Amino acid sequence: MTSLFIALKLIPMIFAALFPVVNPIGTALILYGMTRGVDDQTWKSMSRRIALYSFLLLAFFFFFGSYILKLFGISIPVVQFSGGIVLALMGWQLLNQKETGKPPSEETPDYPYSAIEPKAFYPFTFPLTIGPGGLAVVLTFSAHLNRESMLLVTLEQGAAIIGIFLTCLVVSICYRNLKFMTKRFSADVALAISKILAFFVLCIGVEIAWAGFKALGH
């Protein structure tokens, strides 16, 4: 039961860390300016594909990030410490970032139907939806797994995948409702939510960096 509780706390942690970095609401507003010429049905299908690609990309780096680190000879405590600092800095920058609240530019060119499908992965998924910041988050959490037992590692991996899935689900919902959001969503509410989550990112980053620092000291 204790192992399950430890693992489950990773779900809100990874969601809170990914959400402001991925920023599905802000990115949706950017995509709205890029896809005004696309019909609703086509874009809804495209939004599901972008969410799927985002999930697969984040899951790949989460599961295989440790092997990438071994390839470059980087230890897990170093990734915990440096990744925690990066997360904390991301949170600090997001916390102090000035938002203009302006709608997407009307000068942004439309994408015809024949041109939008090849752009599902690049640039709509990477780097617009999942950029280097999102990959850094999952790499850091992968290195932060509690490796005391195989059961705990498995539970934490499952919890992390749920957190990643929830993030991508929000991405799909936001992208599917671009037109609704641009008309109904308050910029002040979006700003308030992003600032609250940015503070959590800062706290999570400090906690991970502290854990890595203690591991380096042993």
What are the structural domain ranges in the chain? Answer: 2-217
Residues sharing a CB contact under 8 Å with residue 201, sequence separation 6 or more, in sequence order:
16, 17, 20, 21, 87, 88, 90, 91, 94
Q: What is the Cα–Cα distance from 5 to 15, expressed in whole angstroms?
A: 16
pLDDT tens sequence for the chain (218 residues): 677 787 788 899 999 889 988 888 878 877 776 776 788 888 889 999 999 999 999 999 999 987 887 888 887 788 778 878 887 887 788 788 765 545 444 444 455 555 678 889 988 898 888 977 788 889 888 877 766 788 888 899 999 999 999 999 999 999 998 777 766 656 676 667 667 777 877 887 788 788 888 888 76
